[in-house]
Structure 1
Amino acid sequence: MDKATGKSFNFVNLTHPDELKDEGTQARIRRLAMTEFGKTRRRPKTKRARNEIILEFRDVPSDRQIQQQLLPTSFDRWRNASVDPFASYPIELDDVSRELVVNVFLQDSVHIKALRDSWFTVGLYDPAPFYGLLSNSLLSIHIRLHGVSMSSNDPKSLRLYTKAIRLVQERMRSPGRQTDGTLIGAVSSFMCHDASWYLKAFDTWNTHRSAMLKLIDLKGGADAIFQEALRITVSWCELGGTFAQDIPPKLPLPRRWEANAHSPPGSPRPYSHVSLLWKQRFPMRLEWITILDDVTQLISLDRAFTSEQFAAVTQTGSWLEPTLVRLLRIRPMETDSGPGSVMEEVCRLGTLLFLSPVWRYMGVKPVWTDSFTRNLLAMLNNCRVDWGELKPLLVWTLYFAAIETADLEERKQFTVILAMLMKAMKIQEWEGVLQIVKFVLWIEPVFKDSDNNVRDEIFVVLSQTLVPESATGVAELQDA
């Protein structure tokens, strides 16, 4: 293009229309305008195009663009993520902290949105929990970009975490502050930082949980926490570490979680033949089967499992978190080690392994399940029982254990046991296994194409003429 006739442009980039009211912005626009006006006076009058000043309001970048950089820079992402940029925050936001708040509201989540609304509210109480929130936000970006396997803390996140720790230490030295909800909220953020979602630093997590429980006890117990957002946050942060370690939570369910854990009164219960078989065999052992019945019913009612209504579940709250707490609390082997206790413990672990991919589907990431698969394998290796007509529950449990475990040796053992069960039950085709798994409990949108090559590995075992002696419970399964 001819330089004399080509257009030239001067850009004034704004992040919000209100910035037009800023005196500095107006002065810059006037300066650019007068510069261009001066140029036109020095040029002959022609029909060449006039110079333009463009006020640019950028479009929202795609998720792919966001993932290409650690901290996205477009302020519009914040505005379009329904965060109020003019709200009052516990600290003065700089560019980094602003973008970390943006990231909180960019999480690709559904059920977790209700949880986020609680812990973000708690973060606004005070600088201490807010720095903890920012630290966790930065870790979540690191995980999204680099995966969930983190051998060490992110240095930038650690600096924010350290600021929160120092503020908590200062407040603990102040008389009367030990019962302050801001301290409980800050310690909860430390638990979230150390535990399952990020670093799996469970020694530190356990220390922080003990501190949180002491602070709650000084306040008068969990029922003395009247702020619903804080009450849900502390249970959420405790669930993160107890789930990953397969240990019982100590806090009672929040009132909202208690309500979400059960289906609406009068809701029809789907018929479950396997539930009936369990109750006939173990009429006095109903703790686990009652939870499975509730899960079956709640799944049948949950609109999140239809693609058309997936987003609607954000308005209703989640039954998953309280159900997981209920499963983590029951400990069948603490009462006795009889066949009923062994089978109930195996099924408890199987239900947790079934619900783990569902939790991911709802937006929680990462979800660690290695404690469940490890404990399950120990049960199968050390406790031999006759499952009889309840073999479908064992097949169901082993299927989800095989697709969940990341340990190759564990996976091999699970597939060997599944192969032997197929022989004992005279199942010739893989479809027969899937029919049994679906007969117990299945969610098609979550588990479609989920076998992760388990089928191929099982048929390799079945093709062998000799079964490894390490195959757990093979003789018992064949005799049963």
Structure 2
Amino acid sequence: MDRSAKTIFNFVNLSHPDELKDEETQLRIRRLAMSEVGRARRKPKTKRERNEMVLEFRKPAATSATIDRLGRGEVDPFTPYPIALDETSRALVASIFRDGSAHSRQLRGAWWLVGLSDKATFYNVLANARLYQLKELTGTFVQKSDLLGLSMQNHALRSMTDRIKDSEGHASDEMIGAVSSFMCYHYILGEFEGWENHRNALARMTGLRGGFNNIAQESLRITVSWTDLVGSFSQDIPSIVPLPQLWQNNSRSPPGSPRPFNDISLKWKQRFPAMMDWITIFDDINQLMSLDRGFTKEEKHLAETTGCWMEPTMVRLLAIRPLITGSKSENVMEEVCRLGTMLFLAPIWRWLGASPVWTFTVTRNLLSVLNSQMVEWGELKPLLVWSVYFAALETRDPRERSQFAFILAVLMNGLQIREWSELTQVVQSVLWAERIFASSDGSLRDDVMSILRLPGTGDVTPVLEEIEDEEA
């Protein structure tokens, strides 16, 4: 075929439709168009071939992000956003979906859809995105936002105020989604007075429509449960929102799946056959983890969209209150194990995409129980070691850490073990996740071993033995 007879294409590659507004881009397009006009005059062509031009939208070469409404892309130019995006808001949206972003991935497929459904909610999504940007800049979560974040939340408040004027819409999906977005904002800041105020408002709104289970939209129903759970976990209080059906389905392994043997579970049931609340949850976690639940690509996808086994497990742990039902030694032990299980799961939750996971109340509550209640653990002492170990890893308070390290040193002495590797064997015999906790205990090991063998002061074993005798 004669090359002169072939159709000629001229490509103008753009990464976003807004680039069509650029004067240099427009000039280039005009030049190409005029070149086609001149070529057409010189050589007649068929009607189909005449003045053919292609505009092709391609992603920038510097990023591998794809366009995805549910969160794997950066900014979808075809998504109907509830506000007109300017350069600032577009950058905030992009930060939510950028690879390596500090922004929470947990249940993004649910709350992102809720954010797109209403102006007030979307402005709070942007305000929350700014908090995560500040985390990236400072290396830690901030306790208050900056002018940009406050500006976005001010827009959300004004939009919310306008909506409140319509009394018929007080229990609408849009209002419930907006209140949930405010709860998320306060939770990220770790400011739970504001979170509680909005949770109370959420409860009243849903009461007007007959309860939480009357929220028909799946993404909103999951988002409401999520915003209630993360704040409840942070304060170690029971959740007030019942489990969504999808979470109920994910909370336990399929019937007939194998139950791995766990020696410490058997010892618990032999000693406390009537205390089944916590140990039942523990057995479910052990089974789910043995099946690699939570660590596969499928489970991580569930975590980012509708939720995995972690959320209903946390709700169940928050629901049981051993010290309310009694004050016997078994109640104390069950409470220690409940708190220890939450601290064991917290890093796994982060690994699945949850951020932040506040545990300062949980570690404080555990330390309070240990300091005020002395009980004999006997053959169940590995559970105590396991709980204190993960509390020591999780706490960010230097005083708490030193107290947990000292308790571990006392426990090592009581178990007559002198090497750190022996302690980790005890911990791993209870419940362990290698890919999460491997090489995570270096500084804790140094702290505990320095207590056991203080340089220049000799062995402190006699002191530890005296403390062990007092506790017994």
TM over 0.5: yes
Match of 1:255 in 2: 245
Distance change (3 Å), C-alpha of 1:476 and 1:343: farther
Partners of 1:393 and 1:179 lie apart in 2 by: 46
1:312-351 alignment runs, 5 A limit: 317-351=307-341
Q: CA deviation at 1:25?
A: 4.3
Q: Does 1:61 align with 2:55?
A: no
Q: TM-score, normalised by structure 1?
A: 0.82
Whole-Å separation in 2 of the counterparts to 1:58 and 1:231: 34
Provide structure 2 residue ranges, at least 5 long, that are not aligned to the other structure: 1-10, 36-55
**Residue 468 of structure 2 aligns to which amino acid in structure 1?**
V
The residue aligned with 2:53 is none
- 1:441 Cα deviation after fit: 0.3
Where 1:176 maps in the other structure, the secondary structure is helix
Structure 1 residue 158: Cα displacement: 1.0
After superposition, what is the alpha-carbon deviation per residue over 1:349-399, rounded to whole angstroms, capped at 9, x for unaligned? 100110011111112222221111111111010000000000000010111
Matched, 1:126 2:118: yes
2:287 is equivalent to residue 286 of structure 1: no
Residue deviations 1:46-73, cap 9 Å, x none? xxxxxxxxx996645369xxxxxxxxxx
Asked whether 1:15 is paired with 2:5, we answer no
Deviation at 1:28, TM superposition (A): 4.0
Q: Does the 8 A contact of 1:417 with 1:471 survive in 2?
A: no
Change in Cα spacing, 1:18 to 1:242, as seen in structure 2 (3 Å) is: closer
Q: Give the partner amino acid of 1:232.
A: I
Q: Provide the alpha-carbon RMSD of the alignment.
A: 3.4
Q: Which residue of 2 aligns with 1:450?
A: 440
Whether contact under 8 Å (2:67, 2:76) holds in the other structure is no
Distance change in 2, residues 1:110/1:390 (3 Å): farther
| Counterpart residue identity of residue 404, structure 1 | E
Q: Would you say the 8 A contact 1:128–1:163 is kept in 2?
A: yes
- Are 1:269 and 2:259 counterparts? yes
Q: CA offsets, 1:20-66, max 9 Å, x none?
A: 7999945443359989xxxxxxxxxxxxxxxxxxx996645369xxx
Q: What is the correspondence of 1:270-419 to structure 2 with a 5 Å cutoff?
A: 270-305=260-295, 317-419=307-409
Do the aligned residues in 2 keep the contact of 1:261 with 1:323 (CA within 8 Å)? yes
CA contact 2:15–2:58 (8 Å) conserved in 1: yes
Q: 1:309 to 1:161 in 2, by over 3 A?
A: closer
SS of 1:29's partner is: helix
Q: 1:222 to 1:145 in 2, by over 3 A?
A: same
The alpha carbon displacement at 1:310 in A equals 7.5
2:469 to 461, 475, 478: 475
What is aligned with 1:93? Answer: 85
Q: Which one is further off, 279-288 or 462-471?
A: 462-471
Shift of 1:148: 2.5
Paired letter, 1:236: W
User: Could you say which residue in structure 1 is the equivalent of 2:127?
Assistant: 135
Check 1:217–1:56 CA distance in 2 against 1; reply closer, same or farther (3 A cut).
Answer: closer
Q: Distance in 2 between matches of 1:472 and 1:157?
A: 55
Matched pairs, number: 437
Report % sequence identity. Answer: 49
Residue 262 and residue 60 in structure 1: after superposition, are their counterparts in 2 closer, same or farther (change >3 A)?
farther
Asked if the contact 2:299/2:308 (under 8 Å) is kept, the reply is no
Taking a change above 3 Å as real, the CA distance of residues 245 and 473 of structure 1, as seen in their structure-2 partners, is farther
Aligned counterpart for 2:152 among listed residues 154, 160, 172: 160
Distance 1:76-1:327 versus aligned 2 partners, 3 A rule: closer
Q: Is the 8 A contact 1:393 1:440 kept in 2?
A: yes
* Residue ranges of structure 1 left out of the alignment (5+ in a row): 1-10, 36-54, 64-73
Q: Offset of 1:289 from its aligned partner?
A: 0.6
In 2 relative to 1, CA 329–303 (structure 1 residues): closer, same or farther, beyond 3 Å? closer
SS at match of 2:221: helix
Question: Where does residue 138 of structure 2 map in the other structure?
Answer: 146
SS in 2 for 1:151: coil
